[in-house]
Amino acid sequence: MNRLVVLIVLCVALVSGCREPFEPDIKAADLTVLVVEGYLDTEGLPSQLRLSYTRNIQSDDSSQPSYPSAEVYLESASGMDYPLTDLGGGVYEFSYDIPENDNYTLRIIANDGKTYTSELIKPILTPEIIDVGFEKNESGVEVYLTTKGDQNADDFLWTYEETYAYRPRISTSFIYDPAVEDVVTRSFEQRTNMCYRGGVSADLILETSSRFEDQFVFRQSITQIPQNDERLSVRYSILISQKALDKKASEFWEILRKNTNDLGSIFSPLPSNIRGNIKNDQDPTLPVVGFVSLGTVRQERYFIDVREVVPWRADVPEYYECYIESDTVLVEKYGQAFASGSFVPVVPIVLDGAYTPIGYQGAPRRCTDCTLRGTNVKPDFWVD
């Protein structure tokens, strides 16, 4: 959904980037177009529909929400209604196991009184993902999948979510506790030596299986991880979602992909070419951007461990010039050195025959604390 909005706004920016700004005689309201995007799973897997409005790039009015408040439901040809749950922020969740042999219509009733209706949607049964794997190459690591289309599922759209574990440049088990004015061992909740981060990729990956013999899509590239990227510094996970599209949906996403990839060229197709399967009930001539599909979503999670791609040395700019201070911070100086939290104890200095340290060597927090860039809470799906 966000890529649709950004695409339209950037194309307006492209026009305004000329030496003499062009200011068309268009009312700001005319640029507020509903954007709808979603692929709703028919077997109960929670899936999301996203609604938003395009905005005038020259407007600095941020008081109005960029998404509508609406009632959204799916209506079957047999007369059943399936209301979507409003999660806020223009996001609506669909989590029903519905008959795939029925036809459906999506209806949107916005709080401004406008209503929108989709074309009749027929669910598509998406084939299973046959295999997911990776190959190390000169550029890094390529993640791929293999699948097979059929007479009902020829066009595919793949999306994916990435999550990866990483460590800071310098690990420490210690923390200064102002309550006791001493350095103590970190609790499990305070650990900063292993974290997780990731997100949903904005890439649009499309392919038509009928281009291949027996509709066998072999080793379709999903993503390329550059050599020494931090994502493979410890352990990496990718969740790939495979979605079968009908021909019209495939054409829509292909236009969007071309706009996304070619943006900036004077010869690029413009967003005015992007129409979907949603119309404004009051005035069908008004533009509505987006596409809603129904079908089964096939998912596969895959892990890659750094031991599988050695040698791999993560290059992380955030950790450039990290160091452990050579001078020892003595006990009486703990508060002065560590109380602010920007400098943390790392290496205990213990004299021969002693049981307690006389002090600690420290390092900047940015070099030791992975929670500055992620979370130390392991995801539920994570497998070590």
Model confidence pLDDT, tens digit, residues 265-300? 434 444 545 678 999 999 998 889 889 999 999 999
Closest CA to 126 of 144, 105, 96, 149: 149
* Neighbouring C-beta atoms of residue 133, cutoff 10 Å: 12
pLDDT value, residue 220: 98
What CA–CA distances, in Å, run from 300 to 221, 241, 312? 15, 7, 25
Whether residue 354 is contained in a domain is answered as: no
Per-chain mean pLDDT for the chain: 89
Whether residue 334 is contained in a domain is answered as: no
Strands 174-177 and 182-185, how do they pair? antiparallel
Model confidence pLDDT, tens digit, residues 130-172? 999 999 999 999 999 999 999 999 999 999 999 999 999 999 9
Question: Residue 17 — very low, low, confident or very high, per pLDDT cuts 50/70/90?
Answer: very low
Model confidence pLDDT, tens digit, residues 64-101? 558 889 999 999 999 999 999 999 999 999 999 999 99
pLDDT value, residue 256: 82
Residue numbers of the domain that contains 116: 2-129+245-298
Closest CA to 274 of 293, 260, 295, 294: 260
Q: Are 149 and 127 in contact (CB under 8 A)?
A: yes
Q: Are 306 and 234 in contact (CB under 8 A)?
A: yes
Whether residue 105 is contained in a domain is answered as: yes
pLDDT value, residue 18: 44
Whether residue 25 is contained in a domain is answered as: yes
**Average pLDDT value for residue range 201-215:** 95
| Burial of 362 (C-beta count, 10 Å sphere; 0-12/13-18/19+) | buried
Domain count, the chain: 1
Q: Cα–chain-centroid distance for residue 345? A: 35
Judge whether residue 316 has pLDDT over 90: yes
Residue found by looking up tokens 């700004």 in the block:
21
Judge whether residue 4 has pLDDT over 80: no
Q: Are 337 and 174 in contact (CB under 8 A)?
A: no
**Average pLDDT value for residue range 233-252:** 96
Judge whether residue 227 has pLDDT over 80: yes
Q: Are 37 and 54 in contact (CB under 8 A)?
A: no
Question: Residue 13 — very low, low, confident or very high, per pLDDT cuts 50/70/90?
Answer: very low
Model confidence pLDDT, tens digit, residues 332-384? 999 999 999 999 999 999 999 888 999 999 999 999 999 999 999 999 999 99
pTM, two decimal places: 0.85
Whether residue 191 is contained in a domain is answered as: no
Buried b (16+ CB within 10 A) or exposed e, 212-244: eeebebeebebbebebebbbbbbbbbbbbbbbb
* Neighbouring C-beta atoms of residue 8, cutoff 10 Å: 22
pLDDT value, residue 32: 76
Whether residue 148 is contained in a domain is answered as: no
Whether residue 326 is contained in a domain is answered as: no
| Burial of 5 (C-beta count, 10 Å sphere; 0-12/13-18/19+) | buried
The CA distance from 59 to 348, in Å, is 56
pLDDT value, residue 26: 41
What is the enclosing helix (H) or strand (E) of 249? helix 247-262
Whether residue 287 is contained in a domain is answered as: yes
What percentage of residues in the chain have a pLDDT greater than 70?
85
Longest dimension (CA), the chain: 86
Q: Are 16 and 59 in contact (CB under 8 A)?
A: no
Tokens of residue 96, six digits: 């029903």
Q: Are 102 and 59 in contact (CB under 8 A)?
A: no
pLDDT value, residue 25: 44
